[in-house]
Amino acid sequence: SAVISQKPSRDICQRGTSLTIQCQVDSQVTMMFWYRQQPGQSLTLIATANQGSEATYESGFVIDKFPISRPNLTFSTLTVSNLSPEDSSIYLCSVERRDRGYNEQYFGPGTRLTVT
C-alpha cells in the first residue's frame, strides 16, 4: 500500500514561531492535500497542492498563515506561521493512489503540533 511519511511526527512550539511539516510519498502523485484535525474534531481541508502551480486554499485559510511548497511530484511542505495556541492540531497530508486497482485517497501519519 501507499507509503506516505510526515516529519516531524510531533512538535511543541512557542507562540509566534513557525513550524514546517514535510510530506513524502514513495511514488509520484499529481495532487497532495493538507488537512487539519483539531482535538476531538473532524478533518478540515487547508489546501490542495499541485506541482508547478500555487496551492489552492480553502475558505478560512490563507497563504500567509499556511504557505505550501510542492517542488516535485513526491514531496510537499506545509508551514504554519506565527503560531498561536489555536493552531494546536494534527496536520495530515493525503494523496490519491491506485493501490487496490482503483483510485483512493490515503493519509500520512500526521504531525501533532502543540503551541505553548
Partner 1 sequence: GENVEQHPSTLSVQEGDSAVIKCTYSDSASNYFPWYKQELGKRPQLIIDIRSNVGEKKDQRIAVTLNKTAKHFSLHITETQPEDSAVYFCAASKDSSYKLIFGSGTRLLVRP
Site residues (CB under 8 A) for partner 1?
30-31, 33, 41-45, 48, 58-59, 92, 94, 96, 102-110
Least distance between partner 1 and beta carbon 49 (Å):
11
Q: Is the peptide bond before 67 cis (omega within 30 degrees of 0)?
A: no
Least distance between partner 1 and beta carbon 103 (Å):
4
- Closer by beta carbon to partner 1, 14 or else 39: 39
- Closer by beta carbon to partner 1, 14 or else 59: 59
Q: Give the residue among 101, 71, 89 at the shortest CA–CA distance from 13.
A: 89
Least distance between partner 1 and beta carbon 80 (Å):
19
What contacts 100, CB < 8 A, 6 or more positions away? Answer: none
Q: Give the residue among 46, 49, 24 at the shortest CA–CA distance from 36.
A: 46
